[in-house]
Amino acid sequence: MSILIDDKTRVIVQGITGKIGSTQTRWMLKYGTTVVGGVTPGKGGNTVEDLPVFDSVEEAVQETGANASVFFVPAPFVLDAFYETADAGIKLIVVVPEHIPVHDVIKMRAYALEKEVLALGPTTPGILVPGKGKMGIMPGSLFSPGRVGIISRSGTLSYEFAGILSEKDIGQSAVVGMGADSVILTNLPDILKLFEADDETDAVIIVGEVGGMQEEKAAEFIANGMTKPVASYIAGRFSPEGKCMGHAGAIVRGSAGTVESKCEALKASGAEILKSPIEVIDWTIKNDIH
């Protein structure tokens, strides 16, 4: 078992004919992902990386048996693409693009719940399961198979943690980019639940950042429903109040969303607080994680 991506995952790429979509399709295929086709309205009948391109998601599902989709669709068109994808029966959607309007994300989130779709993003590097596949833009060379799960609001920091662990021969069961916007499609506790239930994961690392309440929500779940060891690193220790730091979700307002409030909540839940990414090695040693 592995979370989200396994041997039965059949991926389509929406926006496959664009520069980013075609390039990332090539890298996903090279990593071993079962990509079975792509969708770009008006480009049906073409091929990209020898994969068929379809005009609609419904057609792609009928012809390929796809059950997962990764979006490289321009932000203004993501909402309609999301509706179409959910209606076609796809149950896993990774929304990579940024700059999607918040009201669109709220509509997508509600529709995902209605259709029982698990969706990641927006503004996410995606998900990677070492040795099995990836959906999104994560650089596969930094990851190695193992038993530590990583959930991150920051793409580059997830790469940093995976790289540090891999250098010490500590592999990852899955690395999940949950999305960096102020409103996201799946909350952190719901991703923690997947790792808690995964028999190939022994421990979980949360890579958070200032802004929002995701880490505080996670702390409540960790205290009441998590049996596996959890460590957390919160980026943005010196972020000035009221200033957006890179991500739409990374903004501190008063005492809410600060590094201090997040660390206090997580520490009280039993999670280990890391002051620097490199401290993750000591945590794995202390918890006998290999």
Sequence-separated (6 or more) residues with CB below 8 Å from residue 26: 49
Phi, psi of 219 (to 5 degrees): -60, -40
Q: Is the peptide bond before 41 cis (omega within 30 degrees of 0)?
A: no
Is 247 among the catalytic positions? yes
CA-CA distance, 120 to 131, in Å (whole number)? 20
User: Would you call 271 exposed, middle or buried from its count of C-beta atoms within 10 A (0-12, 13-18, 19+)?
Assistant: buried
Helix locations, the chain, DSSP H: 19-31, 57-64, 78-87, 102-115, 155-167, 188-197, 214-225, 259-269, 280-286
C-beta of residue 170 within 8 angstroms of C-beta of residue 155: no
Radius of gyration of the chain (CA): 18
One-letter identity of residue 116: E
Choose the catalytic residue: 99, 103, 247, 290.
247
| Catalytic machinery residues | 247
